[in-house]
Amino acid sequence: MPNPTAAMLVIGDEILSGRTRDANMYFLAGELTKHGINLAEVRIVSDDSAAIVAAVQALSAGYDQVFTSGGIGPTHDDITADCISQAFGAPIDVRDDARALLAAHYEKTGKELNEARLRMARIPDGATLIDNPVSVAPGFTLGNVHVMAGVPMVFQAMVASVLPTLTGGQPMLSQTLRVLRGEGDIAPTLGALAESYDDLSIGCYPFQQDGTFGANIVIRGTTGARIDAAMTQLARELEL
């Protein structure tokens, strides 16, 4: 059976403006790879309700799991929870269990659970909470969509909370061969290898360092013996 698939939806004007560099995609890709879930698509959308709803609906229909990051904080532009509610046609309101988590946290820190902070307890009907051991305010899962914070430390903690609940496949393995030749020189060899090993992913990534040009050839798959065989054949045909 093929591995389950996943998509990621990154939400926020600050990402698209270049003001903030997204780190969550890199982290999620690595964790899903280890869990045997193939991250197949990543989209970035602005803080626009229609765009978020459309993206959530499309990704939810197209992949086994969807992970969102961003837009679940206490400010006016944190609209992700409402968009998820709209995408699934689920009512949304402050939920008692989420409110209790926030109330205990802010009582302990001596801060007021004001109207703005209470926005983070608004959860769509039918959703389950995602634990947030960093800053308490929960994410949530509705259907196959896991809604998480954009702050990297919190996002990572939420991913750690969700992954054990998901069925994975075989972890992806990879090997890399570094060659000091141009892509044009090795392309025919790589094309033939890809045809012979169509169960593997074979990628070629050029580099230039200190005036030297070359390429990193990465072979990925779920069976170590197949990767070994492909790498051995590649090295032999390139006479390395």
Domain boundaries, the chain: 5-165, 173-237
- Gap between the Cα atoms of 89 and 72, Å rounded: 18
Q: Domain 5-165 is classified in which CATH homologous superfamily?
A: MoaB/Mog-like domain (3.40.980.10)
What local confidence, expressed as pLDDT, does residue 133 receive? 95
What local confidence, expressed as pLDDT, does residue 123 receive? 98
Per-residue pLDDT of 106-159, as tens digits, reads 999 999 999 999 999 999 999 999 999 999 999 999 999 999 999 999 999 999
What local confidence, expressed as pLDDT, does residue 108 receive? 93
The verdict on pTM exceeding 0.75 is yes
- For domain 173-237, the CATH architecture is 2-Layer Sandwich (3.30)
Please determine, for residue 1, whether its predicted confidence score (pLDDT) is greater than 80: no
The phi, psi pair for 35, rounded to 5°, reads -90, -5
Per-residue pLDDT of 53-97, as tens digits, reads 999 999 999 999 999 999 999 999 999 999 999 999 999 999 999
Confidence of residue 210 (pLDDT cuts 50, 70, 90): confident
What local confidence, expressed as pLDDT, does residue 80 receive? 97
Average pLDDT over residues 30-37: 94
Percent of the chain topping pLDDT 90: 93
Which stretches does DSSP call E strand in the chain? 5-11, 38-45, 65-69, 92-94, 122-124, 128-130, 139-142, 145-148, 173-179, 201-209, 212-221
Instruction: Name the nearest CA neighbour of 223 among 161, 157, 168, 171.
Output: 171
What local confidence, expressed as pLDDT, does residue 211 receive? 83
Please determine, for residue 240, whether its predicted confidence score (pLDDT) is greater than 80: no
What local confidence, expressed as pLDDT, does residue 127 receive? 98
What local confidence, expressed as pLDDT, does residue 209 receive? 83
What local confidence, expressed as pLDDT, does residue 212 receive? 85
Most confident of 60-64, 169-173, 184-188: 60-64
State the amino acid at position 156 in one-letter form. Answer: Q
